[in-house]
């Protein structure tokens, strides 16, 4: 009955795990992803080599709530050539260099005609910004500010060899069935091109979490969603309107590889089991952490927490989007995400799953005064001194197991880590001192 996810995870070599996560990020980094097109499909294919992924294609023009699935964007090449024929801006060198979703263009422009189509960051003159134009027909290039000021007067040949045609929006799902049809949702966006923390960190950690959970006897079913941001989550919800009710707990994963401390943004409901479970795990993670109240902007939690759904879905991040200078620039690269931080984020995710899998209520079968633990070999053999964490945990579980408090509530009130409380409950259950309440009553 006890599913020891966190203890199992702790036995793994964390440095090796971090390296594996980072190497998967390196594999995915060069792919030019967008909200539709070949890049997201190739990304899902690569994830599908590690975990079972079902790929869905939703045709352009499909109405999804108040939105419409857009045309599919694909790109082969893009550049700006100077009068000597040199590529002064080259998509082949870095896919951030073209504004994502740019319409095709072939033209010769003077520098002053070109400038309105150029994006750079004067405050970080060596970095290249990441820009998109999904819902407005436009085209443009991104370059460092130093490159921009070095452009000489003259004519420039501009080419964006892209296509914007009827096609599909593609998303991927990995479903791991558990004993219950109630689900834990892990969602991450898969639409950013060569950006490491903002999206690759979430993809790699979610994939590794599914790898870790698959094949286990799980209480909940787990659904991992790899979707283009905003439109992908909206499309999935529109196509799964009825099934969404099965989602009992959920979490969006994004920006979990940078050197910052953790931020857990609570669900709209604010006090759900996953909100409290995540807080509990972070409190004992040994890393810096903070919880944030729900707000209607951010990642896809804002779709899952829209009032019509109001699901118990929070968001786990390290540094919060928009608050670090590397955000949406070429500096959010493979050096910005660290193996140890990726592994630490996976550790928190497994810790949260451990809480969800094992959190339930018990009834103390000996509620009149303390049961005599010593005669059951559940107490220390020598008196005096402190009782230690394990026995303390047993006393807390016995005292609070009145059928009302869950193990998570006991962990919160005792200040002890959840796995210590769950271990104590298992021992007391084996010792005939506790009776479990049905799983669906936790």
* Residues found near Zn ion in the complex (CB under 5 A): 198
Q: Report how far residue 210's alpha carbon sits from residue 207's, in angstroms, rounded to the nearest whole number.
A: 5
Q: Report which of 294, 55, 316 is spatially closest to residue 185, judged by C-alpha positions.
A: 316
In angstroms and rounded to an integer, the radius of gyration of the C-alpha atoms of the chain is 25
Based on CB atoms, which residue is closest to Zn ion, 321 or 379? 321
- Name the H helices within 29-170: 38-48, 111-114, 145-149
Based on CB atoms, which residue is closest to Zn ion, 212 or 327? 327
Q: Report how far residue 274's alpha carbon sits from residue 271's, in angstroms, rounded to the nearest whole number.
A: 8
Based on CB atoms, which residue is closest to Zn ion, 75 or 188? 188
Based on CB atoms, which residue is closest to Zn ion, 80 or 96? 96
* Shortest reach from residue 358's CB to Zn ion, in Å: 34
Q: Please, are residues 171 and 228 in contact by the beta-carbon 8 Å criterion?
A: yes
* Shortest reach from residue 200's CB to Zn ion, in Å: 11
CB environment 122-139: b (16+ within 10 A), e (fewer): eebeebbbbbbebeeeeb
* Shortest reach from residue 195's CB to Zn ion, in Å: 7
* Shortest reach from residue 309's CB to Zn ion, in Å: 22
Hey, is 363 helix, strand or coil?
Answer: strand
- Cα-Cα-Cα-Cα dihedral sign, residues 264, 235, 102, 76: positive
Based on CB atoms, which residue is closest to Zn ion, 198 or 301? 198
* Residue 129 DSSP one-character state: B
* Shortest reach from residue 321's CB to Zn ion, in Å: 6
Q: Report how far residue 108's alpha carbon sits from residue 417's, in angstroms, rounded to the nearest whole number.
A: 65
Based on CB atoms, which residue is closest to Zn ion, 332 or 357? 332
Give helix 202-213 / helix 339-358 axis angle, nearest 10°: 50
* Shortest reach from residue 254's CB to Zn ion, in Å: 8
* Residue 132 DSSP one-character state: B
* Shortest reach from residue 191's CB to Zn ion, in Å: 8
Q: Report how far residue 14's alpha carbon sits from residue 417's, in angstroms, rounded to the nearest whole number.
A: 20
* Shortest reach from residue 299's CB to Zn ion, in Å: 8
Based on CB atoms, which residue is closest to Zn ion, 173 or 198? 198
Cβ-in-10-Å burial (0-12, 13-18, 19+) of 381 comes to exposed
* Shortest reach from residue 370's CB to Zn ion, in Å: 54
Q: Which residue is nearest to Zn ion (CB)?
A: 198
Q: Specify the DSSP element, H or E, that contains 82.
A: none
Based on CB atoms, which residue is closest to Zn ion, 183 or 198? 198
* Shortest reach from residue 313's CB to Zn ion, in Å: 18
Q: Report how far residue 53's alpha carbon sits from residue 50's, in angstroms, rounded to the nearest whole number.
A: 9
> Maximum Cα–Cα distance for the chain, whole Å?
92
User: Is beta strand 118-119 parallel, antiparallel or unpaired with respect to 141-142?
Assistant: parallel
């Amino acid at each position: 009955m006890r599913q020891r996810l966190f203890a199992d995870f702790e036995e793994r070599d964390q440095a090796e795990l971090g390296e594996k996560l980072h190497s998967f990020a390196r594999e995915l980094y060069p792919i030019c992803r967008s909200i539709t097109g070949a890049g997201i499909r190739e990304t899902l294919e690569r994830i599908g080599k590690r975990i079972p992924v079902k790929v869905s294609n939703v045709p352009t023009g499909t109405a999804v709530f108040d939105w419409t699935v857009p045309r599919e964007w694909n790109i082969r090449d893009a550049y700006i050539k100077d009068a000597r024929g040199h590529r002064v801006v080259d998509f082949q060198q870095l896919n951030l260099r073209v504004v994502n979703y740019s319409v095709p263009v072939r033209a010769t422009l003077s520098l002053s005609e070109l400038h309105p189509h150029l994006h750079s960051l004067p405050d970080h003159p060596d970095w290249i910004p990441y820009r998109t134009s999904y819902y407005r027909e436009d085209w443009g290039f991104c370059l460092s500010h130093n490159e921009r000021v070095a452009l000489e007067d003259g004519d420039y040949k501009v080419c964006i060899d892209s296509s914007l045609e009827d096609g599909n929006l593609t998303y991927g799902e990995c479903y791991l069935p558990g004993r219950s049809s109630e689900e834990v949702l892990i969602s991450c966006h898969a639409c950013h091109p060569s950006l490491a923390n903002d999206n690759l960190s979430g993809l790699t950690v979610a994939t590794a979490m599914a790898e870790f959970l698959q094949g286990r006897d799980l209480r909940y079913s787990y659904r991992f969603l790899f979707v283009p941001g905003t439109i992908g989550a909206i499309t999935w919800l529109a196509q799964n309107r009825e099934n969404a009710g099965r989602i009992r707990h959920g979490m969006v994963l994004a920006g979990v590889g940078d050197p910052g401390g953790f931020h857990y943004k609570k669900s709209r409901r604010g006090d759900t089991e996953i909100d409290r479970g995540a807080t509990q795990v972070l409190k004992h993670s040994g890393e810096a952490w903070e919880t944030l109240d729900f707000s209607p902007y951010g990642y896809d939690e804002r779709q899952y927490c829209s009032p019509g759904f109001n699901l118990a879905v929070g968001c786990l991040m390290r540094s919060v989007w928009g608050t670090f200078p590397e955000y949406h620039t070429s500096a959010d690269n493979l050096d910005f995400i660290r193996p140890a931080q990726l592994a630490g984020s996976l550790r928190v995710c497994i810790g949260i799953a451990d809480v969800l899998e094992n959190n339930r209520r018990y009834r103390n079968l000996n509620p009149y005064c303390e049961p005599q633990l010593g005669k059951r070999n559940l107490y220390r053999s020598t008196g005096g001194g402190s009782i230690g964490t394990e026995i303390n945990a047993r006393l807390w579980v016995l005292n609070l197991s009145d059928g009302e408090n869950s193990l998570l509530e006991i962990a919160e009130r005792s200040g002890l880590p959840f796995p210590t409380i769950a271990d104590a409950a298992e021992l007391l259950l084996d010792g005939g001192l506790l009776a479990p309440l049905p799983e669906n009553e936790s």
